Homo-oligomer: A and B are copies of this chain.
Amino acid sequence: MAATGQLEGVIAPVVTPFGEDGTADAKRFVEQAQWLLEDGCTGLAPFGTTSEGNSLGLDERMELLEELVDAGVDPAVLMPGTGTCSLSDTITLTQHAVDIGCAGALVLPPFYYPNPTDDGLFRYFAELIEEVGDDGLALYLYHIPQMSGVGYSIDLIQRLRGEFPEVVAGLKDSSGDWSNMERILTEVPDFDLFPGSESYLLAGLKLGGAGVISAVANVNARAMRRVFDNFESEDAEAFQASVTAFRKTAQSYPLVQGMKALIAHYRNDPVWADVRAPLLPMPENEIREMAARLARDHDFVLRFTATT
């Protein structure tokens, strides 16, 4: 299924825990990442939107990534977010990801200037690729225009694919716009499309999609994996209906705070619920309500002891 890249399946944008002093907490981070791989994730995409990646410092991102690899996580399952507003900082983070052997890098377009031209974005990526060099570099474009204000047009994707076919490996589409995902799946050959929501997982797979990269995979990867592993079976629709329903409930709460809240609740570790400003954590009573509602409506319990 995967065309040019090594990554496929269910990929979690790992949430980033902060310790009592507000700094990124490598110990909890590594523990959670390892658990996600046990829970069914085929890959990890730290430093995405759900990870509060843009709230982390450059040094924090690089240190956390190194901690993962030092702890034994195979870099071949890693697709860290490396896109910033600045070409220089994006080169620094992308080069670092390549140097430690990550399977890919998930790259936001530069998002400070509104409405950049496709020519300007093309130049940005051409310079990024030239600077990092294409040996071992696999870029996944991160399309989330409702957050970043800047997206990837189909024209730009085609142009980047045409010029850098060995490097530009795929795209995460978090726009929520199925017609855009469908166009990419049908019009861009040999390109790994990951919907940013598991609601489109089965529909994507049927058109050759590579899997899913979803916030909710932080707590519900196992169920998504059932869709991915069985997408051609007669149970696929029922498996999909289950993850779609779960997501619908989950996203009635703020997703970043909600994922962390569920981990805090089931790990019995309130520190997990914190987020970095400008975000604010979910109040305790809302955390309890969310957990209770998911348990009641979706039979959901998070088990952090190894269950495999």
Contacts and interface: CB of A to CB of B under 8 A. Distances in A.
B114 A278 contact: no
A110 B278 CA distance: 7
Given A112-B148, A114-B146, A147-B114, A55 B280 contact: no
B57 A278 contact: no
A126 to B, nearest CB: 8
Contact of A112 (B87, B121, B147, B277): B147
A60 interface: yes
A160 interface: no
A89 interface: yes
Contact of A54 (B22, B85, B120, B279): B85
Nearest to A131: B22
Contact of A280 (B111, B119, B147, B278): B119
Contact of A278 (B117, B146, B277, B279): B117
Interface in A23-80: 49, 54-60
Contacts of A60: 88
A127 B84 CA distance: 22
B110 A277 contact: yes
B123 A277 contact: yes
Interface string A268-308: 00000000111110000000000000000000000000000
Given A147-B114, A148-B112, A123 B92 contact: no
Contact of A127 (B22, B88, B119): B22
Contacts of A85: 54-55, 84-85
Chain copies in complex: 2
A266 B220 CA distance: 61
A240 to B, nearest CB: 30
Interface residues of A, number: 40
A123 B277 CA distance: 6
A55 B87 CA distance: 6
Contacts of A55: 85-88, 110, 112
A114 B279 CA distance: 10
A116 interface: yes
A109 B58 CA distance: 18
B277 A121 contact: yes
Contacts of A127: 22, 277
Contacts of A147: 112-114
Contacts of A148: 112
B124 A278 contact: yes
Contacts of A110: 55, 277-278
Nearest to A148: B112
Interface string A111-145: 11110110111011001000000000000000000
A48 to B, nearest CB: 11
Q: Which of A86, A121, A124, A127 has the most CB of B within 10 A?
A: A86
A92 B23 CA distance: 14
A101 interface: no
